[in-house]
Structure 1
Amino acid sequence: MIETERLIFRELDQHDIPDLCEILQDEVTMTAYEGAFTDEEVQRWLAKQLDNYERWGFGLWAIIQKSTGDFVGQVGLTYQRVEDEEVLEIGYLLKRKFWHQGFATEAALGCKQYALETLGAKTVTCTIRDTNVASQKVAERIGMTRHKRYVKYYKGVDMPHYLYY
């Protein structure tokens, strides 16, 4: 698994449901997703990650703070459809109490390096809702720039997004 200066990444498992709920059922954290998830949606989210591990050998991983053992959030690599193209994306969602401490940037940079150096990916992206300025800043801090704007349809809503390379 990936390690950074302060973080260890590991695969998510069923024991992580309470921590995932703290993230995915937080209205503020999930603003970019049009609101908090239900219990069933959290379970489907975890099942998707477990499937991604089997299919690709990666997905979203748990981020664990080395010094405390705390579950900080999740970060990882997924394939996303951007218009007519499938791209390898770095995704990150942290518990609110860990925001503004540099963890998202550190974790996203670790994923970027893993994708490029270990997986041999030619390109890695971030797809970020146009209203999610904090996530856009993380992408920029890891050396990405905004490439284009596109619209993703999710939960019955047209959601403008930016694609970062």
Structure 2
Amino acid sequence: MFSSERLDFRFYTEADLDFLYSMLSDERMTEFIGNGKTRNRKETFNFLQWIFQHYEQNNEYGLKLLVRKKDGVTIGHAGIVPQLIEGQVELEIGYWIAREYWGNRYASEAAETLLQRGLNQLGVGRFISLIQKPNLASRKVAEKIGMQLEREIILSDKQVCLYVYEK
């Protein structure tokens, strides 16, 4: 679909359910995602269907798998995801790297690639990232790609930092 220096971005397929489940069933992985709870296989399947719905609306949107070019290993996902924030649709740059690949700058690379793609190919001038306040690593990624903390909001009963990039 598209790529960065070290990563290929590709659509999820039903064959990727086990990978998605490996992330959604890991307590450390879900600590700062949504309500912070892990998901069972049925809930993971439903989440995968949610991803597919974004592709149907606009195949530029939705979470894409991140596959490491050098060895074909799937290391996470990232994407531009429409979110309803206080009655307004915003486009979120989201990124989520499997725990065994943390600390390799994959999230920063994926986020920067999505930002540049959104600005240059899609012509979008504003992006957000929704990051739970204690998630310092993700906040650092947002700041590294030029996002600034606009305000804090409550989502799923969690205090969330709303980061913004505006052209």
Identify the TM-score tier after normalising by the shorter chain. over 0.9
Distance in structure 2 (CA, Å) of the matches to 1:51 and 1:69 = 26
Deviation at 1:90, TM superposition (A): 0.7
1:102 corresponds to which of 81, 100, 105? 105
1:48 corresponds to which of 50, 73, 93? 50
Distance in structure 2 (CA, Å) of the matches to 1:110 and 1:162 = 21
1:147 corresponds to which of 150, 157, 166? 150
Provide the aligned C-alpha RMSD in A.
0.9
Residue in 2 that maps onto 1:164: 163
1:115 corresponds to which of 98, 101, 118? 118
- Using the TM superposition, name which of 79-88 and 45-54 deviates more: 79-88
Residue in 1 that maps onto 2:17: 17
Decide whether the 8 Å contact of 1:73 with 1:94 is kept in 2: yes
The alignment of Structure 1 onto Structure 2 pairs a total of residues equal to: 161
Aligned residue type for 2:9: F
Gaps of 5+ in 1: none
Residue in 2 that maps onto 1:29: 29
3-state SS in 2 of match to 1:134? helix
2:83 corresponds to which of 80, 83, 88? 80
Deviation at 1:122, TM superposition (A): 1.4
Distance in structure 1 (CA, Å) of the matches to 2:135 and 2:42 = 25
Decide whether the 8 Å contact of 1:82 with 1:150 is kept in 2: no
Q: TM-score of the superposition, structure 2-length normalised?
A: 0.93
Distance in structure 2 (CA, Å) of the matches to 1:43 and 1:117 = 33
Residue in 2 that maps onto 1:65: 68
Percent of aligned positions with the same letter in both sequences? Answer: 32
3-state SS in 1 of match to 2:27? coil
Q: Deviations over 1:3-53 (max 9, x none)?
A: 100000000011111111111111001001312111111111111111101
3-state SS in 2 of match to 1:125? strand
Gaps of 5+ in 2: none
- Using the TM superposition, name which of 2-11 and 30-39 deviates more: 30-39
Aligned residue type for 2:7: L
Q: TM-score of the superposition, structure 1-length normalised?
A: 0.94
